[in-house]
Amino acid sequence: MERTNEQDSWKSWIEAHGPKLLLCARQWTRSLADAEDVLQEAFVRYWRHQRQLPGDPQALIITSIRRAALDLARREDRRAAREEKAGGGIEADPVVFEKLPGEGDERRAEIEVALQRLPPEQREVLVLKIWQEFTFEQIGEALGIPPNTAASRYRYALNALRQELEPLCHG
């Protein structure tokens, strides 16, 4: 009976938090498929080994997602280097947002480019603040930085996006 309760518990938790966590994973990965793999790996790791740890559960799983994404990126970089030495390469066209037909593809692409131009530490804070709706304290806990640093990175990211996208709005 406990097994069923535990299964229901993790299923309802992932249903409630999965979409936002996937958006978060997406900003650290090269494709949606990689983000899904990273999210699955991080969630299983969290559910089996970390959910009993003290601290904010969302911050713990974000940390787990980030680590899984970094591990994947390192593996992919090593694989790409091996392929490059062997004379082949991999395609790398990172897409942050899924494109929906007829729904502002051009503007979405402009925002995507602007996001990719942000320094990674600003981009990850922006994603956690906007898509995860984390407080700066939660962001600091998830990334291992002081809350004031998270707030500064968020402000810098917003200013950079505003400067880059504003001419597009008025031009």
Instruction: Report DSSP letters for 86-106, one per residue.
Output: TT--------SS---TTS-HH
- Report helix, strand or coil for 53: coil
CA distances, 149 to each of 92, 121, 155 (Å)? 31, 10, 10
Instruction: Report DSSP letters for 142-162, one per residue.
Output: HHTS-HHHHHHHHHHHHHHHH
Rounded distance, CA 154 to CA 126, Å? 5
Rounded distance, CA 61 to CA 154, Å? 21
The pair of structure tokens assigned to 35 is 């983000």
Angle subtended by helix axes 2-26 and 57-85, to nearest 10: 60
Domains assigned to the chain: 7-88 (1.10.1740), 103-171 (1.10.10.10)
Digit-by-digit pLDDT tens for the chain (171 residues) are: 344 566 667 778 778 888 888 888 888 888 888 989 998 888 888 878 777 777 777 788 888 888 888 888 888 878 777 777 776 544 444 554 454 455 566 777 788 788 888 898 998 899 888 888 889 998 998 888 999 999 999 999 999 988 888 765 554
What pTM was computed for the model?
Answer: 0.54
- Report helix, strand or coil for 52: coil
